[in-house]
Amino acid sequence: GENVEQHPSTLSVQEGDSAVIKCTYSDSASNYFPWYKQELGKRPQLIIDIRSNVGEKKDQRIAVTLNKTAKHFSLHITETQPEDSAVYFCAANGGNEKLTFGTGTRLTIIP
């Protein structure tokens, strides 16, 4: 089955700087890669996703890049703000109806 590794596990960034979180996956059949943001005590919320027919997708301050050859994808947050502080999870679908999640990155934005 699919295996997803996520780094770093914690990340502290000065407000206004950029944050990058990286994930690698093992199953070459994976073709869907979502990113979720989870605030303390809340449900995970989708913030951006990418499918394997594109290499990059951007939504305002958030972007995701995908390298299928190397089997890795990354989340980029620019001009970080205090409300970006949360735990971020990447996931890959292994080419089927399930998602395998990374272990999460706790992002802290320092004012």
Partner 1 sequence: SQTIHQWPATLVQPVGSPLSLECTVEGTSNPNLYWYRQAAGRGLQLLFYSVGIGQISSEVPQNLSASRPQDRQFILSSKKLLLSDSGFYLCAWSRIGGGTDTQYFGPGTRLTVL
In the complex, the residues that contact partner 1 under the rule CB under 8 A are 31-32, 34, 36, 42-46, 49, 51, 89, 93-104
Q: In terms of CB distance, is 78 or 96 closer to partner 1? A: 96
Q: In terms of CB distance, is 10 or 81 closer to partner 1? A: 10
Q: How far is the CB of 16 from partner 1 (least distance, A)?
A: 28
Q: How far is the CB of 56 from partner 1 (least distance, A)?
A: 17
Q: In terms of CB distance, is 48 or 109 closer to partner 1? A: 48
Q: Compute the distance between CA of residue 47 and CA of residue 34 in angstroms, rounded to an integer.
A: 8
- Token reading at 13: 């960034």
Beta-carbon contacts of residue 77 (< 8 Å; ≥ 6 apart)? 18, 19, 20, 61, 62, 84, 107
